[in-house]
Amino acid sequence: MGKMLLSVFFGLVVLVAGVSISFAHHAGGVEVGDLDTGSVVGQPFKELPVDAEIFAMELGSAKVWYPPVTIVDFKSRTGRPVVLKVTNNTSAEHGFFMTADSEFAAPSVLKVKIVLKPGETKYIGIPTSDLFYATTGSTFVYNCHLHPGHLGGKFVALGR
C-alpha cells in the first residue's frame, strides 16, 4: 500500500508539473482599467508612459477608430509593457477589439475586447510577451466589434 501511495504521489507531481508547463507560453496578461487603478504585470498604468492613443470618432458620416495605423518601435525601447489609451469621443457606445491580423491564429493569440460608453477612456496594458510570443506576425487589427461597418485600424510593432 505504501508503494502504491508513493506511485500515486509521484504521478500527481508529474501531472501537475506537466500542466503548469503547458500554460507557460499562452497569452493572457492583457489588462484593461483606469489610469489610477489599473496595472499590467505588476506595474501601475500611472507609472508607465502611454505608447499610443486611439480614438473612436466621427469623420463626416463615417464612424472610425483613429488613427488608422498605430506604430510602436521596439528597437529603441525597453521591454516594458505597451500601454494604449483608448477613448470614445462619440455620442454612442463603441467596441474596441484588437487581435492578430490572421484568420488562423492560435487560441492563445492576443485578443482585447472592451466596450466604451460615450466619452469614456480606458487604458490597455499589454505585456511584450503577448505581442511577440503569442503570434507569428507583428501587425494587429483593431475595430468596433459592436458595429461591423465602422472603420478600424492596425497596430504595428516594429523591431520584432
Q: What is the DSSP string of the chain?
A: -HHHHHHHHHHHHHHHHHHHHHHTT-----EEE-TTT-EETTEEGGGS---EEEEEEEETTEEEEESSEEEEE-SSS-SPPEEEEEEE-SSS-EEEEEEES-TT--TTS-EEEEEE-TT-EEEEEE-HHHHHTS-S-SEEEEE-SS-TTSB-EEEEEE--
Give pLDDT tens digits for 108-130: 678 899 999 999 999 999 988 88
Report pTM: 0.77
Give pLDDT tens digits for 80-90: 899 999 999 99
What is the torsion angle, in degrees rounded to the nearest 10, for the CA atoms of residue 74, residue 87, residue 133 and residue 141? -100
Percent of the chain past pLDDT 90, that is, above it, reads: 49
The segment with the largest mean pLDDT, out of 50-54, 96-100, 101-105, is 50-54
pLDDT at 138 over 90: no
Q: Where are the domains of the chain?
A: 27-158
Task: Output the nine-digit C-alpha cell for 62.
Answer: 463615417
* Length, in residues, of the chain: 160
Read off φ and ψ for residue 126, nearest 5 degrees: -125, 115
- CATH class as words, domain 27-158: mainly beta
- pLDDT, averaged across the chain: 80
Give pLDDT tens digits for 9-49: 444 444 344 333 323 334 447 899 999 999 998 899 999 99
